[in-house]
């Protein structure tokens, strides 16, 4: 059952969308993932994104970053939402892969959650082998800049790093997925960071039905009270 005022965000790397039947069985069958109201998937193509959205009954937006030589199809992120997605755009991330010359991109969507506008960013940052650790931080900085000044923000996806949440934390984000443990072999690569929310609960799904070499991560978030931006009236004599 969905809890009013609480948003369950889930992120999962689909491993080139090779097993969409398995992915759907995972999200329909797992008790935690069934309650996700915002889902971010990586390594997706448009046809797979359309199929998942139709089966789960979700609004969606997808942008490919590039044509990937391994699955020989579009390679990008999809944002799925139980709420309306009223705006969307593609955010090109800096840095070309040293081996393939390909480039990453994030999906930006504005989602109306219970009437509140929330900027949601679906990310899949490059690996250090592609752009170096400095290149990863450059990509994170571009996402941070793209959300500057926005009250409610959720960034979710495959960070390809266990520490890339740090620049978001330093920029005032909450990092609720930190410390969940390994999500890709022995590495904790899959993360959710947020601003304008408080954390209620979090977890990962260890049994991913063999769909991917990643494990899904989920976080329950509650809308935090808006910050007061106006100057309170002065009391007493000047």
Residue 147 structure tokens:
């959300």
pLDDT of residue 100: 76
CATH of the domain at 20: 3.60.10.10
Residue 228 lies in a domain: no
pLDDT of residue 225: 76
Residue 236 lies in a domain: no
pLDDT of residue 170: 97
Residue 130 lies in a domain: yes
Residue 35 lies in a domain: yes
pLDDT of residue 231: 40
In whole angstroms, give the CA distance from residue 16 to residue 33: 20
In whole angstroms, give the CA distance from residue 202 to residue 218: 6
* Percentage of the chain modeled with pLDDT above 90: 83
Tens digits of per-residue pLDDT, 66-118? 655 555 456 899 999 999 999 999 999 999 988 877 889 999 999 999 999 99
Tens digits of per-residue pLDDT, 159-170? 999 999 999 999
Q: What is the pTM of this model?
A: 0.92
Section 195-219 average pLDDT: 97
Residue 6 structure tokens:
């609480």
In whole angstroms, give the CA distance from residue 220 to residue 238: 47
The residue segments making up the domain with residue 66 are 6-223
Pairing of strands 197-204, 190-195: unpaired
Residue 207 lies in a domain: yes
Tens digits of per-residue pLDDT, 123-134? 999 999 999 999
User: How many domains does the structure of the chain reveal?
Assistant: 1
Residue 105 structure tokens:
């991109």
* Coil vs helix vs strand at 47: helix
Section 6-27 average pLDDT: 97
Residue 44 lies in a domain: yes
Residue 232 lies in a domain: no
Q: Does residue 221 come out as left (phi exceeding 0), alpha (psi in the -120 to 50 range) or beta?
A: beta
């Amino acid at each position: 059952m969905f809890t009013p005022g609480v948003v369950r965000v889930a992120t999962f790397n689909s491993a080139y969308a090779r097993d969409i039947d398995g992915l759907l069985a995972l999200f329909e069958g797992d008790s935690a993932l069934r309650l996700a109201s915002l889902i971010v998937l990586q390594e997706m193509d448009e046809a797979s994104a359309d199929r998942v959205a139709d089966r789960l009954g979700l609004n969606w937006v997808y942008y490919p970053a590039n044509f990937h030589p391994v699955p020989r199809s579009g390679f990008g992120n999809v944002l799925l939402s139980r709420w309306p997605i009223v705006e969307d755009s593609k955010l090109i991330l800096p840095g070309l892969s040293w081996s393939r010359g390909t480039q990453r991109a994030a999906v930006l969507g504005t989602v109306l959650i219970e009437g509140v506008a929330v900027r949601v960013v679906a990310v899949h940052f490059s690996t250090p082998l592609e752009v170096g650790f400095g290149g990863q931080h450059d990509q994170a900085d571009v996402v941070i800049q793209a959300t500057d000044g926005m009250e409610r923000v959720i960034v979710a996806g495959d960070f390809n790093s266990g520490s890339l949440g740090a620049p978001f934390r330093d920029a005032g984000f909450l990092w609720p997925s930190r410390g969940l443990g390994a999500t890709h072999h022995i590495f904790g690569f899959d993360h959710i960071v947020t601003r304008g929310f408080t954390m209620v609960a979090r977890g990962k799904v260890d049994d991913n039905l063999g769909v991917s070499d990643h494990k899904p991560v989920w976080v329950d978030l509650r809308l935090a009270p808006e910050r007061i931006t106006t100057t309170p009236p002065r009391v007493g004599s000047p």
